[in-house]
Structure 1
Amino acid sequence: MPADRPTIVATSGGFTRRERGGLDWAGTAHLAVDLAKVPTSRRPRLTYLGTAGGDQRTWAAEVHAAGERAGFSTTVLDLFPMPSVEDPAAQLLGSDVVWVGGGSVANLLAVWRVHELDEAFRAAWQAGVVLGGVSAGSICWFQGGTTDSFGTELRAVTNGLDLLPYGNGVHYDSEARRRPLVHELVGSGVLGETHCSDDGVGLVYQDTELVEAVTEVPGKGAYIVRRGEDGVVETRVDPRPL
């Protein structure tokens, strides 16, 4: 069974570091799997894309190991040096959850469009495949957001997939320049209403509606930034602990 409605879990989280090395899937990723409504008779089918990080093989191995521990049937879809499956669009459509890793969102969007995955993601989303990801893997679903894809100074990216009609601000509490740049971009109209997440926080959307914020880490927040008559207004959304 697919998700009840088109669903996206956009996060500044998703993984946790193991004490003796390696990764585990964290609460926001498990929530994405829960929202996919996978029958108990089989393992959840999760496809991971590390495009934004250049499809690093060592990271892919960590993802596979984390999937085994979580009970997921994991496929890593590489696009370097060529697609690692015959039909990437079919791979996405046949997944329960697609999770996108962090890195360069500008490069990610360019590579996806070369391979016509922008339309494939929209088709999968509309079919009930739950889309999720962290950092670049969060911003990509929106109209745009803040990124260090172009250099050490944060800049705006405005050519996201536009599945969600908002801007997106990730790492809102851990990188000092993120919050003021979001306010600048919203105030100038470069970004419209922008939804932001502290590290460990996920934003859950059904259709294009923000239905809740969730957190893997106590005390963290989510934020909605809008331009009002008297300037930029930021509203905190208290996340539900996972």
Structure 2
Amino acid sequence: MAAVPDRRLALLGGGFSTDDDGLLDDWVLGQVPAARPRVCFVPTASGDAPGYIEKFLAAYRSRACEPGVLPLFRRELDDAALRAFVLSQDVVYVGGGNTANLLAVWRAHGVDRLLREAYERGILLCGISAGANCWADGSHTDSFGPLTHLADGLGLLSGSVCPHYDSEPGRRASYRAAVATGSLPAGWAVEDGVGALFTGGRPTDVVSRLPRARLYRVEPDGDGGASERALSCRLLGGARRTVPLV
């Protein structure tokens, strides 16, 4: 009987679109054993913004990989070719933007089903901001303007996700309030600079390009509020201190 592949996804608090050092991009590629992994960038949440696509290609063409892009606003592939393309990848990297719009467009084109199939096949799914939100049952988002909760997602990661936990005013308090009231289930808050790999729904590697940045588990505290617990992480780059995941 063939071995069941690991189902893996990664939440990113940075990468080619925000950082100059490339540490998180190298970490993502390091999760794949292929000598030249195939990496597909999905820029749906930004409306397939040309500048975003070019930035991805510039960053990944300089690495030992085969980068590609999946545009949906000017879709060129029929259903069979679309499925073949997605399932031929080693990594699917989803960019930031509007989480609600991202999910709606994916469902219109059947990409939500393809990504679920890719996940079951062991293709690494990852992304930043909206590209991190989309994998969970729900998320904390500014898709509708003000910060709010979105009880919608692909459900590949149980619970909820909050990006930009330390960098955007109001994020921390608003997400904790959503979890405390049950508007969102308990989940994961990602600070900028963090990469968190989940295998079978559990965090198996948490890294940071910044000494202070962390991944937090946020849960109701039983007294009408929410508690947060920081997970230890490995520091990326140079000879920096390595801290085991707890």
TM-score, structure 1 normalization: 0.90
Q: 1:24 to 1:220 in 2, by over 3 A?
A: closer
Q: Which residue of 2 aligns with 1:202?
A: 195
Of the candidates 76, 79, 93, which is equivalent to residue 69 of structure 2?
A: 76
Of the candidates 138, 141, 144, which is equivalent to residue 144 of structure 1?
A: 138
Structure 1 distance, partners of 2:44, 2:87, is 18
Q: Which residue of 2 aligns with 1:27?
A: 23
Q: Which residue of 2 aligns with 1:159?
A: 152
- In the alignment, structure 1 segments of 5+ residues that lack a partner are 18-22
Instruction: Say if 2:6 is the partner of 1:5.
Output: yes
Q: Is the 8 A contact 1:13 1:28 kept in 2?
A: yes
More off after superposition, 216-225 vs 124-133: 216-225
TM-score, structure 2 normalization: 0.88
Q: Which residue of 1 aligns with 2:241?
A: none
More off after superposition, 228-237 vs 201-210: 228-237
Structure 2 distance, partners of 1:80, 1:16, is 21
Of the candidates 54, 59, 68, which is equivalent to residue 66 of structure 1?
A: 59
Structure 1 distance, partners of 2:152, 2:20, is 31
Q: Is the 8 A contact 2:139 2:152 kept in 1?
A: no
Structure 2 distance, partners of 1:118, 1:164, is 14
**Per-residue deviation, 1:24:** 6.0
**Per-residue deviation, 1:88:** 2.1
- Letter paired with 2:140: T
Q: Which residue of 2 aligns with 1:174?
A: 167
Structure 1 distance, partners of 2:191, 2:161, is 11
Instruction: Say if 2:218 is the partner of 1:225.
Output: yes
Q: Is the 8 A contact 2:17 2:52 kept in 1?
A: no
- In the alignment, structure 2 segments of 5+ residues that lack a partner are 237-246
Could you tell me the percent identity over the aligned residues? 35
Structure 2 distance, partners of 1:97, 1:24, is 21
Instruction: Say if 2:43 is the partner of 1:47.
Output: no
**Per-residue deviation, 1:213:** 1.7
Give me the CA root mean square deviation. 1.9
Structure 1 distance, partners of 2:169, 2:4, is 36
Q: Which residue of 1 aligns with 2:109?
A: 115
Structure 1 distance, partners of 2:4, 2:48, is 28
Q: Which residue of 2 aligns with 1:92?
A: 86
> What secondary structure, in the 3-state scheme, does the structure 1 residue paired with 2:192 have?
coil
After the TM superposition, which residues 181-200 of structure 1 pair with which residues of structure 2 at under 5 Å, given as runs?
Answer: 181-200=174-193
Structure 2 distance, partners of 1:15, 1:93, is 23
Q: May I ask how many residue pairs the two structures share in their alignment?
A: 231
Instruction: Say if 2:207 is the partner of 1:214.
Output: yes
Q: Is the 8 A contact 1:182 1:194 kept in 2?
A: no
